[in-house]
Amino acid sequence: MFEGFVVFLFGLVLGSFANVCIYRMPRNLSVVKPRSTCPKCKSLISWYDNIPVLSYIFLNAKCRHCDNKISLIYPLIEIVCAVLFLLMYLLYGFSYMLPSFCILVFSLLVITAIDFEFQIIPDEFSLLLVIVGLSTSFLNVFLADTVLMRISQSFLGFLAGGGTLFVIAIIGKWVFKKDAMGGGDIKLMAGVGTFVGWEKVLFVIFLASLMGSIVGICLIIFKKISKKEAIAFGPYLAISSLLVLFLPKPSTIIQTIFMLEEQILLKYFFPHLQNLR
């Protein structure tokens, strides 16, 4: 209980730093200097005005110096980051892999927010995921039971994640005569693949494509975007990457679906065949 509380608090603190990354990195600003400032009046924010979530409540969502409205996005990012850290703790416990997977979900959160607004994925996070994923793969029980299999699965995930989207990008450019896949998406999937392995990273790409297609079609139907307008793919890749951490292996999911289909067919369409089994 206490460990989970500590992880949650640490997630809130890192969520505050995530807000810094989300605001500054797309604008090519340093995430280290200067200290946090108000985007409008540029006044330095004191430490007591920079406490995750609580400062937002105590300041009534306004800057102390200029009364500029503070976006609700800031405390939401902090809370989401804390919840994701807590979920990683519940999934892996207080183990050696907990810091690595916290880095993964932190990076996915920042990437989602940046790509959604600016349609860019910072290479710093993709490279960080590749380095952390490969270097800690021998500890990653998510991949396999033995050390050798874990390392090989991580490397195959790196190749499958980045390689699949790279091939799609080449084919898309040849067919549509324009870039069909961003380089940031390719690097992101290479990084995610080092954590989840080749089988699940392919499932990530499938889920992201499905979600992106559904959302894109809905936006076109309701005339929010045109047919030629591109939408950010990174958020769907990031959300799908989070989902597969809690889902069984794709082969298990497919087998379960087939079993359910067989039971439905036998019960409702071919009940006379049940006696032949």
* 68 sits in which H/E element: none
Q: Could you tell me if 13 and 36 lie in one domain?
A: yes
> pLDDT value at position 267?
67
The average confidence (pLDDT) of the chain is 87
Count of structural domains within the chain: 2
- pLDDT of 108 > 60? The answer is yes
Residue 258: the pLDDT is 63
pTM higher than the cut 0.95 = no
Query: 145 and 43, same structural domain?
Result: no
Last residue of a domain, one of 31, 64, 92: 92
Are residues 116 and 216 part of one domain? yes
Q: Do 106 and 236 lie in a common domain? A: yes
- Mean pLDDT across the stretch 59-77? 89
Q: Confidence class of residue 128 from pLDDT cuts 50, 70 and 90?
A: very high
**Is residue 58 domain-resident?**
yes
In a shared domain, residues 192 and 130: yes
User: Among the three residues 51, 77, 92, which one is the final residue of a domain in this structure?
Assistant: 92
Q: Answer whether residue 268 is part of any domain.
A: no
Nearest to 49 by CA among 24, 66, 30: 66
Range with lowest mean pLDDT among 51-60, 103-112, 113-122, 218-227: 218-227
Residue 256 lies in a domain: no
pLDDT for position 254: 65
pLDDT digits (tens, 9 = 90+) for 219-276: 888 777 777 777 788 899 999 999 999 876 766 666 666 677 667 666 666 566 555 5
Q: Which domain holds residue 25?
A: 1-92
Q: Are 128 and 8 part of one and the same domain?
A: no
Residues 99 and 88 in one domain: no
Q: Is there a contact between 137 and 130 (Cβ–Cβ < 8 Å)?
A: no
In a domain, 276, yes or no: no
**Is a pLDDT exceeding 80 seen at residue 27?**
yes
Q: Which residues of 144-181 are buried (b: 16+ CB within 10 A; e: fewer)?
A: beeeeebbbbbbbbbebbbbbbbebbeeeeeeeeeebb
- 172-219 tens-digit pLDDT: 878 777 776 778 899 999 999 999 999 999 999 999 999 988 888 888
Residues in the chain: 277
Q: Do 30 and 44 belong together in one domain?
A: yes
